[in-house]
Amino acid sequence: MKVLITGGCGFIGTNLSLFLKNKGFKVSTLDNLSRKGSQFNYRLIKKHKIQNYKFNISNYNKINKLPRFDLIIDCCAEAAVEVSKKDVDRVFNTNLLGTFNVIKKVKKDKSKIIFLSSSRVYSLNALNGLIKRTILKKKLKTNIKIKENFKCDEPKSIYGFTKHASEMLIEEFSHVYKLKYIINRCGVISGPLQFGKQDQGFVSLWLWRHINKKKISYIGYGGNGFQIRDVLHISDLCSLIHQQILNINKINNKKFNVGGGRTSYTSLRDLTKICQRLTGNKVKTSSIKKTSIYDIPYYISDNTKIKRTYKWIPKNNVFDIVTDTYNWLNENKKDLKKYL
Q: What's residue 134's pLDDT?
A: 57
Q: What's residue 335's pLDDT?
A: 86
Q: Which of 144, 105, 111 is nearest to 1 (CA)?
A: 111
Q: Which of 6, 199, 234, 223 is nearest to 101 (CA)?
A: 6
* Mean pLDDT on 164-185: 98
Q: What's residue 143's pLDDT?
A: 83
**pLDDT tens-place string over residues 75-90:** 999 877 887 888 899 8
Domains of the chain: 2-339 (3.40.50.720)
**pLDDT tens-place string over residues 209-256:** 999 999 999 999 999 999 999 999 999 999 999 999 999 999 999 999
Q: What's residue 210's pLDDT?
A: 97
What DSSP character marks residue 301? B
CB distance 115 to 182 below 8 Å: yes
**pLDDT tens-place string over residues 108-120:** 999 999 999 999 9
Q: What's residue 133's pLDDT?
A: 62
Q: How far apart are the first and last CA of the chain?
A: 36
Residue 334 has pLDDT above 90, yes or no: no
Whole-angstrom CA distances from 107 to 29, 172, 180 are: 19, 12, 10
Confidence of residue 205 (pLDDT cuts 50, 70, 90): very high
Residue 132 has pLDDT above 70, yes or no: no
Q: What's residue 35's pLDDT?
A: 86
Phi and psi dihedrals of 332, rounded to 5? -115, 15
The torsion region of residue 26 among left (phi > 0), alpha (psi -120 to 50) and beta comes to beta
What DSSP character marks residue 339? G
Q: What's residue 139's pLDDT?
A: 79
